[in-house]
Homo-oligomer: A and B are copies of this chain.
Amino acid sequence: MSTRWLDDTEMTAWLRLAAVLELLPGVLDSQLRRDAELTHYEYFVMAMLSEAPERTLRMTALAQRTNATLPRLSHVVKRLEDRGIVERFPCPEDARATNARLTAAGWKKIRATAPGHVATVRRHVIDVLTREQIAQLADITGAILKSVDPEGHLSELYQR
């Protein structure tokens, strides 16, 4: 099992991707933290809830859509609940399950926060790329996700 090292092109691509992995989350977090006292993950949780029917999702479904483990989500939702942004209630159909719902205050907050966040995403990602590159990025990240998430939790994100 001799190692296949990376050639120059591969190394450049990987080093840059690793740099993006390191730097981009911090950029997103700072803007949201400064303007709304939210982390990017918290924002993402709110965004997923805001698009769900009744603005409600079961914890497991929410964890999958936000690419997180259940323990992590549980902690985050508890903090959001303390701040009045979401509320939790037992699921009627399954006594094991918990539903999380975006409150009216949470809905108001994400509506107020979304423009600034989208502007940040545009400034650092979307608007620095051509239309063609945006399509390429979707394909590339789609391929990576398939290998990183073999159970296919994100299947809806794979297809165009």
Residues from chain B with Cβ under 8 Å of A146 in the complex:
128
Bound-state Cα–Cα, A129 to B22, Å? 21
Cβ of B160 and Cβ of A23 under 8 Å apart? Answer: no
Cβ of A13 and Cβ of B118 under 8 Å apart? Answer: no
Q: How many copies does the complex hold?
A: 2
Residues from chain B with Cβ under 8 Å of A145 in the complex:
16, 19-20, 23
Given A13-B137, A129-B143, A141-B17, A148-B23 contact (CB < 8 Å): yes
Cβ of B143 and Cβ of A133 under 8 Å apart? Answer: yes
- 25 pairs, A vs B, C-beta closer than 8 Å: A4-B122, A6-B118, A6-B121, A9-B131, A13-B137, A13-B138, A13-B141, A14-B121, A15-B157, A18-B67, A19-B145, A19-B154, A20-B145, A20-B148, A21-B21, A22-B67, A23-B67, A123-B147, A124-B144, A124-B148, A129-B140, A129-B143, A129-B144, A137-B140, A140-B140
